[in-house]
Amino acid sequence: MQRLLVLVSLLFVFGCAPRGPVVQFVEGTVTLDGVAVADADVCFTPKEGSNGIPAVGKTDANGQYRLTSAQGGEFGKGAIAGEYEVRVMKYIDLGFVEPTNPQPGDYLPLAKPKHHLPEKYADVKTSGLSATVKKGKNQINFNLEK
């Protein structure tokens, strides 16, 4: 009977353990010309051939972020080890555009968002930003320039 209880207990422990990608803790700071950038989105996209999955974070008032894996990750837990291309975005919401001659039933179009940061940082192809996530704790800072 004891063997059966031990076996059932082991099956429960190992059979119910959460499965998913192993992520590494990633945090850092985003600055623009030496000034912390608050409320920016930091997006890590795996480089071609890397085994990573997308990971994202948002900067706080001090420009600090913590990554969360986009697929099945827990908030602030990190990213899979690997090579990433990075983009950093912060938009100024301009709200709705007032139409010049509104008609009943017209939708108010959204204004094109304005970039708070230089626009090149919003696209991995032009940002020039990359990162390597290694096993363990990672501190990855981005010092952006105008």
Q: Residue 126 maps to which CATH number? A: 2.60.40.10
**59, 76, 70, 46: which is closest to 117 by C-alpha?**
59
In a domain, 35, yes or no: yes
Residues with Cβ within 8 Å of 146's Cβ and at least 6 positions away in sequence, in order, are: 32, 33, 118
Q: At residue 71, does pLDDT exceed 80?
A: no
Domain assignment present for 37: yes
How many angstroms separate the first and last alpha carbons of the chain? 71
Domain count across the chain:
1
Region 139-143: mean pLDDT is 98
Please tell me the predicted confidence (pLDDT) of residue 7: 44
Q: The pTM is what? A: 0.75
Does residue 110 register a pLDDT over 50?
yes
In a domain, 45, yes or no: yes
pLDDT single digits (tens) 11-50: 444 445 455 678 999 999 999 999 999 999 999 999 998 8
At 95, the pLDDT band (50, 70, 90 cuts) reads low
Token duo for residue 135:
């096993």
Place of tokens 């900067």: 59
